[in-house]
Amino acid sequence: MDTIADLTRRIQPLDERAMAAARARQDTLTKPMGSLGRLEELSVLVAGITGRQQPVINHRVIVTMAADHGVTAEGVSAYPREVTPQMVYNFVNGGAGINVLARRANARVVVVDMGVDADFPPGLGIVDRKIARGTNNMAAGPAMTREQAVAAVLAGAEIVEWEIERGLDILGTGDMGIGNTTPSSAMVATFTGADVAGVTGRGTGVDDLQWAHKVEVIERALALNKPDPADPLDVLAKVGGFEIAGIAGAILGAAANRRPVIIDGFISGAAALFATELCPAARDYLIAAHSSVEVGHRTILERMELVPLLNLNLRLGEGTGAALAMPLVDAALAILSGMATFAEAGVSDRDSAV
């Protein structure tokens, strides 16, 4: 692909015919109509996304994007910055939460260095798309240039297109980046017009005083950079992050290729919000995995009119919520293709009720 416009132009509406066929089949299955609720809706959605009346998912991928953030210089996180590369090693060694949960979901984890402030040796399976060694401090100027933002988005899309060539049927998104709830809150406040305090949470666990400071840092960054909500790339560049941009690109790449995307928590949500502000048609390709403890996540989901599948009080990121939700999509499709119809099973439908 050449430009972001080339990418978004390929994102088409859902396939209404496949959806109608899936819905019609659901109504012939041996259960009261609609009694599997959101599982039925999910199967219809994936039919619409893929254009297949009975979609099949064989190859599941979680893309976990990592990057560092200049704003950590302001002391916005409970964890030190070196945790970002340490966790990247943990990912490729298979010891992190996302590794455990992706194994249970039968998903492969693709770990991407979008901009970690460390040099990784080759041969570990870390996909190197490093834009820079961390963003600049958004409280002192723009986090990145517009060119860097575009490059990061396109890199995310390219990774997904490469995975699609290898068979990807469904994408889950994930993030790792000490400090990354701070740019995410800044982006959400800009796009939705919400008060910073109302969309800023405790991240990995800051206390009241640190939280107030985090809000103040975000407010300062917004006052200084004046990101323009009508120009999503301006927002991403000025107060975003490289992994956030990469996730947004992955979402757009999946949608352009009619693959469903399970978005994880707050950081993936901020990326999805950017993607849908840039290209509203991308919204229909998204499945919200869960409702995060991070307060701003609710604002994101409401803005995109997405209802999360799980409410497990998660706040880890990495794609863990996406991995937990993936089996529900599998289950929805298994119902659509695997259940007996009333006719096949010789079960009386409700029309035969007295």
Interaction between residue 32 and a copy of itself (CB under 8 A): yes
Residue-level length of the chain: 354
Rounded to the nearest 10 degrees, the angle between the axes of helix 181-192 and helix 296-304 is 40
What do you get for the CA distance between the two ends of the chain, in Å? 61
- Residue 322 and residue 48 in contact, taking contact as beta carbons nearer than 8 Å: no
Per-residue binding string, a copy of itself, 263-302, x by CB under 8 A, is ------------------------------x---------
Among 63, 96, 111, 304, binds a copy of itself (CB under 8 A): 96
Nearer to a copy of itself, 3 or 93 (CB): 93
* CB neighbour list of residue 251: distance below 8 Å, 6 or more residues apart: 156, 171, 173, 261, 263, 271, 272, 275, 282, 285, 286
Interaction between residue 125 and a copy of itself (CB under 8 A): no
User: What is the β-pairing status of strands 170-176 and 286-288?
Assistant: unpaired
The one-letter amino acid at 105: A
In the complex, minimum distance from the CB of residue 100 to a copy of itself, in angstroms, rounded to a whole number: 4
In the complex, minimum distance from the CB of residue 347 to a copy of itself, in angstroms, rounded to a whole number: 4
Interaction between residue 121 and a copy of itself (CB under 8 A): no
Beta-bridged to residue 127, according to DSSP, are: 112
Among 9, 38, 166, 226, binds a copy of itself (CB under 8 A): 38
**CA pair distance 265, 269, nearest whole angstrom:** 6
Which residue in the list 74, 277, 294, 318 is annotated as catalytic? 318
Among 16-24, 124-132, 280-288, 303-311, the segment contacting a copy of itself (CB under 8 A): 303-311
Among 14, 65, 101, 132, binds a copy of itself (CB under 8 A): 101
Interaction between residue 77 and a copy of itself (CB under 8 A): yes
Interaction between residue 320 and a copy of itself (CB under 8 A): yes
Residue written as tokens 């917004």? 222
Interaction between residue 140 and a copy of itself (CB under 8 A): no
Nearer to a copy of itself, 295 or 331 (CB): 331
In the complex, minimum distance from the CB of residue 98 to a copy of itself, in angstroms, rounded to a whole number: 10
Distance, C-alpha 33 to centroid of its chain: 31
Neighbour count for residue 73 (Cβ, 10 Å) = 15
Interaction between residue 343 and a copy of itself (CB under 8 A): no
Q: Is 318 a catalytic residue?
A: yes
DSSP single-letter state for residue 141: S
* CB neighbour list of residue 227: distance below 8 Å, 6 or more residues apart: 186, 190, 234, 235, 238, 239
- Residues tagged active-site: 318
